[in-house]
Chain A
Amino acid sequence: MNSIIMSFENVTFTYMQEDESVKPAVNDLSFSIQDGEWIALVGHNGSGKSTIAKLMNGLLFPQTGKVEAMGKLMSEESLWDIRSQMGMVFQNPDNQFVGATVQDDVAFALENNGVPHEEMVVRVKEALQQVKMADYLDHEPHHLSGGQKQRVAIAGALALRPRLLILDEATSMLDPQGRMEVIETIRELRKATGLTVISITHDLEEAALADRILVMNAGEKQLEGKPDAVFRSGNELTNLGLDLPFSMRMTHLLREVGIELQGEHMTEDELVDELWTFYSKK
């Protein structure tokens, strides 16, 4: 099953090319993503993450280089076919809710792709069950919390049964609870369906859950690797304006004051586990 679902080859994109002083938003970028992977794309504001997302689904086309998705070269012809196999969820929960009610919104992408009515009813139910929003069929968007709206947006993407889900800071406008709801939903989905996920995020604790992290800086790929490897390069991340997850910062600070902890800790639970067994292990 190890096939490549998305790849960039020396991709460069500049907004307002006419203006010489504008630097490329994405500069000579290459990477590839395997089917079934969970990739976290991190980087400070303006480092080009959203631009990458837009290049991935053909909202923008690169000026040089190639974007390939689902084994096809991204072009005007393949565009709609590729789009029907990927879902995308954006930052602002209010600005992507098209339908008048939850079920209308989930059905929107299906309607666009000409799915017959009987099939739609089944898929809308199924998608809402996957994000645990099946009891809210007839709710209107302004009666939902931010986290619930984002889960509906995810359902709207899932209804098309995509192979790839792109989340562009989908949790950044949510409170901690809403954020947890959405992350939990994604984890369970991946377990159940093996969906490929690309999540763009500022939150390194969220990124720590991914299989692989890509760190962007000023339109270029700065680092790439498994979360623990990326986090071990501590200073480099801090220099890029990114905060390490709390548990890792804590581990570093404890080491500085001479407490010899063993590993790196990506989650608070791991850290707590080591701390309370610290003396007994000695």
Chain B
Amino acid sequence: MMEKMIFGRFIPGNSLIHQMDPRAKISFVFVFIAIVFIANSAITYGILLGFTLLVVFLSKIRLYFLINGLKPVFILLIFTFLLHIFFTREGDLLVDIGFIKIYEEGLRQGIFISVRFLVLVFITSILTLTTSPISITDGIEVLLGPFKRVKLPVHELALMMSISLRFIPTLMDETGKILKAQMARGSDIGSGPVKDRIKAVVPLLIPLFVSAFKRAEDLATAMEVRGYRGGEGRTRYRQLNWRLIDSLSLVVLVGLAGILVYFRV
């Protein structure tokens, strides 16, 4: 289950989308989220869906892989779809079997909401799938740059994010080790009533926290020794470069918004 989940995963590649500047991609996603709400008819939702599939195609990420990885999301999707179908009482009556009554407007709303949801999930997944976490962090740091004026610790937040990302695999390994060590001492996490299982997690978490604090302390020392004293006067090793396709992608997005407004009813 976990292996198939694609939330927050990064698939390296060299498609057009992979090569885009993270700043462009992040802005793109945010503008896109706003644009989605312009759509209000079959045609406009159709255009959105088509556009999204085009983006997926350009990213060279297989549609099957995307759908397979988003299975849990689909359960949510079906649930909201059914909710709309059963509880909207407008328009012509389409189906009438005893207590189940489906109206035309309900069906319409259900489909629209589902498409909207799908399109949003696809586009955000494409962002995380085609951009390495460190690039996303870099992009966010630069995009939030102006907020430094209002004393938002942008550099520190970005550094925190990148260090957390870097330590996830280390802490995962450690959890595995502690788990085995506790199992060797007879602790049983995989079975029994829920209450017992929750209790069994405590001896796992405590050593994990202790070691995480130790690591944090060591890391702080290592950073200080290497001359770290905050964001001031620092230069950046990673450079972002904004190219023509990045500007074009945003132009395309504006075009999309225009088309949607035109076909809106």
Distance in angstroms between the alpha carbons of A57 and B215 in the assembled complex: 20
A83 and B225 contact, CB distance less than 8 A: yes
Q: For residue B166, which residue of chain A has the nearest CB?
A: A100
Question: Is A33 in the interface zone, CB < 8 Å from B?
Answer: no
Distance in angstroms between the alpha carbons of A96 and B217 in the assembled complex: 10
Question: Is A90 in the interface zone, CB < 8 Å from B?
Answer: yes
Supposing A98-B163, A142-B169 touch, asked if A88 and B239 sit within 8 A by C-beta, the answer is no
Distance in angstroms between the alpha carbons of A98 and B228 in the assembled complex: 11
Query: What chain A residues lie within 8 Å of B238 (beta carbons)?
Result: 104
CB of A120, distance to nearest CB on chain B (Å): 5
B215 and A94 contact, CB distance less than 8 A: yes
B166 and A99 contact, CB distance less than 8 A: yes
Distance in angstroms between the alpha carbons of A112 and B230 in the assembled complex: 8
Which residue in A100, A104, A117, A140 is a CB contact (below 8 Å) of B235?
A: A117
**Cβ < 8 Å to A, chain B residues 138-197:** 162-163, 165-166, 169-170, 173
A112 and B219 contact, CB distance less than 8 A: no
Question: Is A107 in the interface zone, CB < 8 Å from B?
Answer: yes
The digit string for B224-254, where 1 denotes a CB below 8 A from any CB of A, is: 1111110001111111000000000000000
Distance in angstroms between the alpha carbons of A278 and B234 in the assembled complex: 62
**Total B residues in contact with A, Cβ cutoff 8 Å:** 29
**Cβ < 8 Å to A, chain B residues 80-130:** none
Query: What chain B residues lie within 8 Å of A120 (beta carbons)?
Result: 235, 237
Q: For residue B222, which residue of chain A has the nearest CB?
A: A96
Distance in angstroms between the alpha carbons of A121 and B162 in the assembled complex: 20
Supposing A107-B237, A115-B235, A117-B235 touch, asked if A141 and B166 sit within 8 A by C-beta, the answer is yes
A57 and B225 contact, CB distance less than 8 A: yes
Distance in angstroms between the alpha carbons of A157 and B229 in the assembled complex: 17
Which residue in A59, A100, A110, A121 is a CB contact (below 8 Å) of B225?
A: A59
B227 and A124 contact, CB distance less than 8 A: no
Which size bracket describes the interface of A in this complex? 35 or more
Distance in angstroms between the alpha carbons of A160 and B227 in the assembled complex: 10
**Cβ < 8 Å to B, chain A residues 63-115:** 80, 83-84, 87-88, 90, 92, 94-101, 103-104, 107-115
Query: What chain B residues lie within 8 Å of A96 (beta carbons)?
Result: 218-219, 222
Q: For residue A57, which residue of chain B has the nearest CB?
A: B225
Distance in angstroms between the alpha carbons of A83 and B238 in the assembled complex: 24
**Cβ < 8 Å to B, chain A residues 236-271:** none
Supposing A92-B218, A100-B133 touch, asked if A112 and B166 sit within 8 A by C-beta, the answer is no
CB of B186, distance to nearest CB on chain A (Å): 29
B226 and A108 contact, CB distance less than 8 A: yes
Question: Is B223 in the interface zone, CB < 8 Å from A?
Answer: yes
Distance in angstroms between the alpha carbons of A93 and B219 in the assembled complex: 10
B222 and A98 contact, CB distance less than 8 A: yes
Question: Is A116 in the interface zone, CB < 8 Å from B?
Answer: yes
Query: What chain B residues lie within 8 Å of A88 (beta carbons)?
Result: 222, 225
Question: Is B134 in the interface zone, CB < 8 Å from A?
Answer: yes
Q: List 21 A-B contacts (CB under 8 A).
A: A80-B227, A80-B229, A83-B225, A88-B222, A94-B170, A95-B214, A95-B215, A97-B166, A98-B163, A98-B166, A98-B219, A100-B134, A100-B165, A104-B237, A104-B238, A109-B227, A112-B226, A117-B237, A120-B237, A141-B166, A142-B173
Given known contacts A96-B219, A108-B226, A112-B229, what 20 new A-B pairs fall within 8 Å (CB)?
A57-B225, A87-B226, A88-B222, A90-B218, A90-B221, A92-B215, A98-B166, A98-B219, A99-B162, A100-B134, A104-B238, A108-B228, A109-B226, A110-B235, A110-B237, A111-B236, A117-B237, A120-B235, A124-B237, A141-B166
The 10 closest A-B pairs by CB, nearest first: A95-B218, A107-B237, A96-B222, A112-B227, A109-B226, A142-B169, A100-B134, A88-B225, A95-B215, A112-B228
